[in-house]
Amino acid sequence: MRHRRLRSQPRFTTHGNSGNWGGTMRESIWFSVLAATAAGLLSGCVSDNTTTQSAGPQTASSQASATDYCASLTANRRRVARLLDDADNNHGAPNSAAGIIGLFGGSSAMTGGRSLAGQDRQRAIDDLRSERSSLDHEIDQRQCTAEARAKAGVIKPTTDAAYNGVYVGKGSTQSWCAQPSLSLTVKDGQLSGKLTAEASYDVKGELYDNGDVSLLFKKEGTGSFTDDVDGRLKDGTLSVGVKLDDSPRACSYQFSAARSAAGGS
């Protein structure tokens, strides 16, 4: 097993009145948490699994390993995308120490209210953007997603009107979660619609000639589509499983949405 060399962690400095040791120390600790959290996201897929896309026959074990590795890559890309959406759209006012720490679950009381230097904030964001590009490249190289396989020419987008229609279904989830519902319109290979559960998500996507579907999810109140998930459309049913949150009691949803109405040509 080979290992990819990581870029150095983002470096953070502390600012403020040196006499306020407690606040400065707290800020320093949380900058370290920020660096460690970012590094954890960036290095989560550092193990370079060489079993994917092998020219020769693969064992069941190697195929499972390749699948797990791809799942890790795509999960990390979703986490990075959510962090970037928070930063880019100022959901946590990340121009302050309190704001950027808030992106990682910290408390504003732990920063002493001081400002985070612009260069430190920008370095953290730049590191995340760089890692997003690295993850995009590796996911494409390993053909982990339907979109990546389409880029490689393995499958092709389709505009077949035979798939047109509205696909609607209630999903299954954990007992503590709200009942999810999904409604997607397929029109000439393009998908659009809504997922509704604890939160509401806009959905868009693309259909491919083998029945694979790539979907993107945008949470209500956020600025961009952050979660990419593959599904399958077969025999008038669109099947997909999604988990749009990383919290300890996060809900996961499984859908089998049947076509309720045919679309026009």
Under 8 Å between Cβ of 143 and 53 = yes
- Report percent pLDDT > 70 for the chain: 65
* Nearest C-alpha neighbor of 182 from the set 228, 221, 238: 238
pLDDT, position 87: 84
* Nearest C-alpha neighbor of 169 from the set 158, 159, 181: 181
pLDDT in tens, 149-187: 999 999 999 999 999 999 999 999 999 999 999 999 999
pLDDT, position 125: 87
Angle at 123 between CA 120 and CA 129, to 5 degrees: 150
Q: What is the pLDDT averaged over residues 49-68?
A: 63
